[in-house]
Structure 1
Amino acid sequence: MNTALLVIDVQQGLCEGEHDAFESQQVIRRINQVADRARAAGALVVFIQHESNAGYLEFGTDSWQLARGLEVKATDLRIRKTSPDSFHRTELEQVLKDNGVTDLVVCGMHTEFCVDTTTRRALALGYPVILVEDAHTTEGNQYLSAPQVVQHHNTTLSNISSFGPRVRLVSTADFRIGA
């Protein structure tokens, strides 16, 4: 299988309490559906976790852990990162090369930071991306609501053509590897 699913930053600190992302529990359910279909098709499933050196999302803390309700299998991989770019100073690119991955599926948190940055970097590295349009979320900000941020990034990312590879939007209901 030449596809990998990247599940970005679906962590406790982003799914509960003051930083609970918009519809985080619904998004977790959708990610579980996407991951089940990816595994069934033989795709590599990679959970990526953001971490800081101290405080919020500090490695090993409860807020750093993968979110409750997220279904992780023994065959899934985990990668730790310290920037919005899942490729920056991580082994992600090498893991993808070692596994013959040529196509990526992206979902997770936060839309305008880690999902956006990782998707753009993937395009720059030559990977076509399926962005699961209803399986990424954020908190929103003082100017845009979370649904507005998600819609904006769905539209923006799927219209980038300068890298060569493109982003294709697919809903959870319509997601299939090879479709």
Structure 2
Amino acid sequence: MAVLPIRICGDPVLHSPATEVTEFDTVLHELVEDMYDTMAAAPGVGLAGPQVGVAKRLFVYDWTDDSDTRHRGVAINPTLWIAPVPAGDADPETESEGCLSFPGERFPLRRSPRAILQAVDLEQQPFEVRADGWLARIFQHEYDHLDGLLYVDRLTDGPARTAAKVERKRGWGVPGQSWLPGIDHLEG
């Protein structure tokens, strides 16, 4: 399989809602395998179609929790249900996240502690995953990509200003920029 270029903040595909997947063919199967390879090479724990320039509603994830349980899959045409987001400021130690489309940076962001993911797999079989903690965060982060949001779009106050400065300093925020995991070395 192949490692795909990852689009950087500012590319229009990252800032527009993705469309439903309608073709479950070999092209889709190959795309999903390439997305797994790209996510592993980055390295990351999730990767959405728009991040590799495919404006379709799908994402892959691969994360091992503290009890050594591996959570790996593809979510196609997902729906995400979340519990209310707790009030208060995000804890920089436990609630910081990063994004392969805003590479090398991490910012604290308050997310819901629980989520229910409903989607179909490559064989169009429906499934449901009830997630807590970090897995719930991964699902929310990837689902946002399908709606044209990056996590930095959700930041407020100081973290939002810092992210904006990073974006300006690195020349991001314009179409056509990408990086190739395993090849490009981005400053962090």
Normalising by structure 1, what TM-score? Answer: 0.30
Name whichever structure is richer in strand by fraction: 2
Instruction: Report which structure shows greater RCO (CA 8 Å, sep ≥6).
Output: 2
Normalising by structure 2, what TM-score? Answer: 0.29
Larger Rg: 2
